[in-house]
Each structure stands twice: as structure tokens, then as C-alpha cells.
């Protein structure tokens, strides 16, 4: 009896797997993986066949999300997870696909994003089993150690060696990727293993058991509470606690109750809303002369040692699920106390411990000291922006002011370059995301598409420079946005240069030849830049170029309306100073 005929038999008419590929996909779905972000190749033949006969197998598989570049599919999965908190799966083509995806995997690793990263491998056999080598590339693409190219950037890597342990392998992969600190794992899939024919059988997988996040040691909590109670001007520094949106309110309440300043040091999330009375901005250096206690929460680089160091008398505490950032080869920030804990587990017990020993007078003095620093910050901001009130100019400061006016709190902003939260006021948890600490360029647009897929009722805006836009493989990204009905607004700060390269050169050599001009500095000039508008128009989107600073807010609002009302992607190409 052939397989199509077997579907007529009542007992086989329900969901049954007849190959390892079908079992693998069904197990993925049963274990909570809703999407398979995929850039496929010849290794994916058994996966493609499984989807082709899904109407016969009756099995439930993750929805395939196709992308035409590996950096795109990894970035889409990253963006989906940063909005939902749920891990997703990515599949790319053997060694060459994994090589193209390395930058995106490093972003996911440094940003602690759980991800099942899958690649095929060259077929094991030159002939014989179903799925054996059938093209000349299968010899050249094989490596002695394919996993070696990403091993430093993943928490675990393995190869599926037989269909008999699909569930064991997936359970381990999905538990490890989500265990704190989260991060990508790598699984390779030989084509012969996926193509293996199995007896027709239902697929029934159990739930994945993920270790609970670490909780703080009571001795450490007591020590930290005593430090805060004795402090004159404590400041909490965080870069990533807002990854868990449920921690924003407890963090704010804790700092408001006990008089603790908040600095979001190059924060990649909304860790505290911009209107918190003790919010001190993004730069700790301005306060190092005042702070006598620094509480560094999920902050890998709380200050720049080359720029300024804390006073030797300042007490320093590091807290996080990995407070040492053990994957960083060198990181020498001093510490008087280190506590291993998630932010969510920290605040309830620390609040209780501090409330038991703190006094009203001490809290009042701390509040007064921190409020004075907050007032100084507002004065500095007003002075910085004052010239633009009379003579608007197309600078990054002006762009940030226009974002404040044009965007509401329901927008999801994905930033890969120019948004400055000293000016742009992010006021809602889960409304702002920035590139990982590794800043592997080309992340912004893919992450925005993933966010749009994850949150179809919200409006997604991607902000980037002309250089980072080009890194995104814009043709592939705009095509994916149209293909998956995931419209978003791209806003480009187009100054025809890699400003980061120019600024770095002048920073290292302030009196050097590059600083004296002419501008742009060597290695940073991108002119002539393409007509970026044509990229989005080629995929059915709307675009406009803006040169008048007074017209920018209205242009941004037009772009938002196209995304919201017409369900089309849009672009604002801003010609900047």
C-alpha cells in the first residue's frame, strides 16, 4: 500500500509521521516553536517534502518564514523573540549558510536571545541511502568541524545522528537555549537522517523543562541592603534588565521608594521609563563624582574606563544571571559584591530586606541628592536643544526631537544607529529595542520584520543610518516584509558616511590629520549613496526623501499612516548633516 492510499484507512487518517523530517518538525511545534525562519538549500529536501505532504500527514508544523539571506532569517527570529520572549528556530544551508549567519548569531549570543539555530550538513554518504550526495557541491561544502565556526558563539552544538533520539536532542537543545543566561544553540541535520523512512506513527512530545532563573543569595541581599541604607547617593546602572518587561515597574518602584538614581547605560531596552523622577539618562560618567554606591544590574559595560573611573571610595555591586559576563575574554570592572540573580527575583527580596533597616531620614537625604542630579540632567538637555528651537537643522538631535513628537507609546522602535535616549523619551516597557552589545550591523531591518510578525496589531519603526541600512541587505528585507505581510516604517539618517568610523578616528587622534579635514575622514565616505527609496518601491512600498527639517514630523506621520492604513511598508530617507 503506498502512502497516499494509506490515508484512506481510518486508523491512519489522523496525524502520523512517516519520516524523521516529519517527526522533527512535529516535535518542534509541540515543544513551543511556532515559526521556522528558513533560508533553505539542497540539505532541506526532506524538510520541504514534509511540508509538501502535510495535508496527508495531518501533522502540525511550525509556520515556515522564508528569507533570502541568512542574516535576514536570524535577525527576524531575534526580533520575534525580543517582542514575545519565546524562542524560535532558524534553519540555513549547511556550512556556507552558517558562515553567512555568524554575525547574527553573535548578536543573539551577546543579547542573550534564545534561538535554535539549525543547519544542514553535507550528506554523509557518497551513494546509497536516500538523501546521499547528489550534487558536486556536496563534496566542497563539507567541513571537518562545521560546528567549530560558531562554537564560541553558542551554548551547545550537536548533530542529529539518528531518528530514534529526535525528542532527546530537541529537549536538550531547547532547555539549554532558554536556561539563564539564554543564548543560541546549534544543531546540524544530515540529509540522510532527515530522509529516513519510519513506520507510520503519531508524534507525541512532552513539554520542555527549563531550569528556573537564579535567585539571589540571602547573605548577598542583606549586604546590598546595608550598602544602600548607608549610601548618600546610590545609582542603579542597567543596560538590559528591561529584556524582561515585567521588571520595569518593580525597578521603578524600588528606586522611587528608597531614593536611588537610574542610569540606563547604552540600554538596549526600556529598563525604566523616561519620565521617572530619578531617571538620570544614559551616561554614567556625569555622576561618577557624586555616586558613592553603584549597583550595576545586567550591565556589561557600565562605564568606559578610558574615559573616567568611579571614585576609589565608591562601592560597586554587580548583579545579573551572569554578573561576570564569562563569555567576554577580558572584562575588568572592579566589584565589592557580585550577586547572581535575575532582576525579577531580586527586587522583591531586596525591597523587603532594605525596608527592614532603612530610615525615613536616610531615604529623604538620598532622594534629595538624586533629585538634584536629575534636575542637572534636565538643565543640560535644555541647553543642548535650545539652538534647535530657533533654527531647526537636520541633525541627529533634531531627528530625535521629531521622533518624540511623531511617535506614540504603542510604536515598537527598533534602533540600529541614531536614536539617542538622552532626547528621545521611551515611556513604555517593550517599546524600544537596540542592537546587541556586539553591534553586528545588518540587524535592524530583519529584527523589525520579526517584530512586525510577532505583533501585527502594533506599528514597528526601524531607525538606522545609510551604512547600517546597506548592511541589512535591503532588497532581501523589503521582499520579506512584503512576502510575510509584515509592514514597518524605515527611517534612514542619510549622511553619506559611516559616522562611527569618522568619530572613532577623530576620538583616537583628536589632533590628527583626519580631525583637521577634509571631511568625511578616510574609510568613512559612502558617497554616492543609492536612491534608497527605490529599494522599498520595488517591493510595493511607499518612500519619500526629506531635506527640510520643518517637514520631517509630517513626513514621519505620513509614513506611519501608510503602514497602519494601507498595510504597506514605508521609508523616510532623511538627508542629514
**Same domain assignment for residues 455 and 536:** yes
Residue 443 CB burial class (10 angstroms; 0-12, 13-18, ≥19):
buried
In a domain, 213, yes or no: no
- What is the rounded CA–CA span in Å between residue 120 and residue 267? 36
- What is the rounded CA–CA span in Å between residue 18 and residue 13? 13
Strands 88-92 and 184-190: unpaired
pLDDT in tens, 477-505: 999 999 999 999 999 999 988 888 888 88
Task: Using alpha carbons, select from 505, 512, 428, 416 the residue that is nearest to residue 465.
Answer: 416
**Same domain assignment for residues 183 and 56:** yes
In a domain, 206, yes or no: no
In a domain, 387, yes or no: no
In a domain, 522, yes or no: yes
Q: Number of folded domains in the chain?
A: 3
Query: Within the chain, how many helices (H) and strands (E) appear?
Result: 21, 19
**Same domain assignment for residues 447 and 558:** yes
List the CATH number of the domain containing 156: 3.40.50.970
Helix (H) or strand (E) holding 557: helix 552-566
φ/ψ (deg, to 5) at 237: -110, 125
- Final residue in a domain of this structure, among 170, 201, 232: 201
Kindly tell me if the per-residue pLDDT of 7 is higher than 90: no
3-state secondary structure 238-250: ECCHHHCHHHHHH
**Same domain assignment for residues 494 and 525:** yes
Which residues fall within 8 angstroms of residue 322, CB to CB, at 6 or more apart?
Answer: 180, 181, 340
In a domain, 209, yes or no: no
Give the pLDDT mean for 249-265. Answer: 98
Task: Using alpha carbons, select from 250, 236, 226, 235 the residue that is nearest to residue 358.
Answer: 226
Q: For residue 281, give Cα distances in angstroms to 142, 170, 437.
A: 50, 42, 18
- Final residue in a domain of this structure, among 201, 226, 250: 201
**Same domain assignment for residues 111 and 160:** yes
pLDDT of residue 294: 98
Kindly tell me if the per-residue pLDDT of 512 is higher than 60: yes
Task: Using alpha carbons, select from 432, 112, 480 the residue that is nearest to residue 300.
Answer: 112
pLDDT of residue 496: 85
**Same domain assignment for residues 50 and 21:** yes
**Hey, what's the cell of 448?**
523589525
pLDDT band at 348 (very low <50, low <70, confident <90, very high): very high
List the CATH number of the domain containing 233: 3.40.50.1220
Q: What is the DSSP letter of 286?
A: G
- Final residue in a domain of this structure, among 350, 382, 414: 382
Give the pLDDT mean for 269-286. Answer: 97
pLDDT of residue 517: 81
Give the pLDDT mean for 35-47. Answer: 95
In a domain, 210, yes or no: no
pLDDT of residue 504: 86
Task: Using alpha carbons, select from 276, 560, 548 the residue that is nearest to residue 408.
Answer: 560
pLDDT of residue 230: 98
Residue 313 CB burial class (10 angstroms; 0-12, 13-18, ≥19):
exposed
Kindly tell me if the per-residue pLDDT of 9 is higher than 60: no
Kindly tell me if the per-residue pLDDT of 464 is higher than 90: yes
Which residues lie across from 574 on neighbouring strands? 493, 546
pLDDT in tens, 130-150: 999 999 999 999 999 999 999
Which residues lie across from 489 on neighbouring strands? 461, 570
**Same domain assignment for residues 404 and 317:** no
Whole-prediction pTM value? 0.95
Mean pLDDT of the chain: 95
**Same domain assignment for residues 72 and 177:** yes
pLDDT of residue 500: 83
In a domain, 151, yes or no: yes
**517, 518, 520, 525 alpha-carbon torsion, rounded to 10°:** -130
Kindly tell me if the per-residue pLDDT of 129 is higher than 70: yes
**Same domain assignment for residues 237 and 376:** yes
In a domain, 211, yes or no: no
**Same domain assignment for residues 407 and 541:** yes
Kindly tell me if the per-residue pLDDT of 92 is higher than 50: yes
**Same domain assignment for residues 367 and 516:** no
**Same domain assignment for residues 127 and 195:** yes
pLDDT of residue 13: 57
pLDDT in tens, 189-242: 999 999 999 999 999 999 999 999 999 999 999 999 999 999 999 999 999 999
Give the pLDDT mean for 449-470. Answer: 97
φ/ψ (deg, to 5) at 66: -85, 140
Query: By residue range, what is the domain housing residue 196?
Result: 3-201
Q: How many residues does the chain have?
A: 577
Amino acid at each position: 500500500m503506498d502512502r497516499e492510499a494509506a490515508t484512506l484507512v481510518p486508523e491512519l487518517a489522523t496525524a502520523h509521521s512517516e519520516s524523521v523530517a516529519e517527526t522533527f518538525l512535529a516535535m518542534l511545534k509541540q515543544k513551543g516553536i511556532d515559526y521556522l525562519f528558513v533560508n533553505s538549500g539542497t540539505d532541506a529536501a526532506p524538510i520541504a517534502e514534509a511540508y509538501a505532504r502535510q495535508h496527508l500527514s495531518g501533522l502540525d508544523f511550525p509556520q515556515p518564514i522564508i528569507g533570502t539571506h541568512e542574516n535576514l532569517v536570524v535577525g527576524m527570529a531575534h526580533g520575534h523573540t525580543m517582542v514575545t520572549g519565546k524562542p524560535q528556530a532558524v534553519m540555513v544551508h549547511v556550512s556556507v549558510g552558517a558562515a553567512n549567519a555568524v554575525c547574527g548569531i553573535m548578536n543573539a549570543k551577546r543579547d542573550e536571545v534564545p534561538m535554535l539555530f539549525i543547519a544542514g550538513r553535507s550528506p554523509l554518504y557518497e551513494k546509497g541511502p536516500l538523501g546521499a550526495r547528489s550534487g558536486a557541491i556536496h563534496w566542497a561544502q563539507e567541513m571537518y568541524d562545521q560546528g567549530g565556526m560558531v562554537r564560541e558563539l553558542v551554548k551547545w552544538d550537536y548533530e542529529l545522528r539518528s531518528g530514534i533520539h529526535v525528542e532527546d536532542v530537541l529537549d536538550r537543545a531547547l532547555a539549554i537555549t532558554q536556561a539563564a543566561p539564554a543564548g543560541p544553540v546549534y544543531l546540524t541535520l544530515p540529509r540522510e537522517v532527515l530522509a529516513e523512512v519510519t513506520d507510520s506513527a503519531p508524534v507525541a512530545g512532552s513539554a520542555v523543562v527549563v531550569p528556573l532563573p537564579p535567585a539571589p543569595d540571602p547573605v548577598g541581599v542583606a549586604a546590598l541592603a546595608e550598602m544602600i541604607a548607608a549610601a548618600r547617593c546610590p545609582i542603579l546602572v542597567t543596560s538590559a534588565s528591561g529584556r524582561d518587561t515585567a521588571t520595569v515597574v518593580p525597578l521603578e518602584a524600588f528606586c522611587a521608594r528608597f531614593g536611588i538614581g537610574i542610569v540606563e547605560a547604552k540600554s538596549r531596552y526600556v529598563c525604566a521609563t523616561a519620565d521617572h523622577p530619578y531617571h538620570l539618562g544614559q551616561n554614567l560618567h556625569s555622576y561618577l563624582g557624586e555616586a558613592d554606591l553603584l549597583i550595576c544590574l545586567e550591565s556589561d559595560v557600565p562605564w568606559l574606563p578610558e574615559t573616567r573611573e568611579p571614585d576609589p571610595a565608591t562601592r560597586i555591586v554587580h548583579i545579573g544571571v551572569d554578573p561576570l559576563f564569562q563569555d567576554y575574554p577580558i572584562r575588568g570592572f572592579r566589584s565589592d559584591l557580585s550577586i547572581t540573580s535575575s532582576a525579577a527575583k531580586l527586587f522583591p527580596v531586596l525591597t523587603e530586606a532594605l525596608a527592614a533597616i532603612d530610615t525615613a531620614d536616610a531615604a529623604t537625604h538620598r532622594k534629595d541628592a538624586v533629585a538634584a542630579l536629575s534636575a542637572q540632567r534636565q538643565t543640560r538637555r535644555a541647553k543642548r536643544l535650545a539652538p534647535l528651537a530657533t533654527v531647526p537643522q537636520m541633525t541627529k538631535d533634531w531627528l530625535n526631537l521629531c521622533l518624540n513628537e511623531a511617535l506614540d507609546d504603542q510604536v515598537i522602535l527598533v534602533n540600529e544607529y541614531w536614536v539617542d535616549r538622552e532626547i528621545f523619551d521611551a515611556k513604555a516597557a517593550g517599546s524600544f529595542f537596540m542592537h546587541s552589545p556586539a553591534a553586528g550591523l545588518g540587524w535592524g531591518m530583519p529584527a523589525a520584520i520579526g517584530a512586525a510578525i510577532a505583533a501585527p496589531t502594533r506599528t514597528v519603526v526601524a531607525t538606522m543610518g545609510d551604512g547600517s541600512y546597506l548592511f541589512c541587505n535591503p532588497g532581501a528585507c523589503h521582499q520579506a516584509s512584503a512576502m510575510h505581510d509584515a509592514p514597518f516604517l524605515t527611517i534612514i539618517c542619510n549622511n553619506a558616511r559611516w559616522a562611527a568610523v569618522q568619530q572613532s578616528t577623530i576620538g583616537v587622534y583628536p589632533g590628527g590629520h583626519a580631525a583637521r579635514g577634509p571631511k568625511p575622514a578616510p574609510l568613512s565616505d559612502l558617497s554616492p549613496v543609492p536612491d534608497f527609496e527605490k529599494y522599498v518601491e520595488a517591493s510595493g512600498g511607499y518612500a519619500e526623501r526629506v531635506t527640510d527639517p520643518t517637514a520631517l514630523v509630517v513626513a514621519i506621520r505620513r509614513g506611519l499612516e501608510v503602514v497602519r492604513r494601507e498595510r504597506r511598508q514605508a521609508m523616510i530617507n532623511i538627508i542629514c548633516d
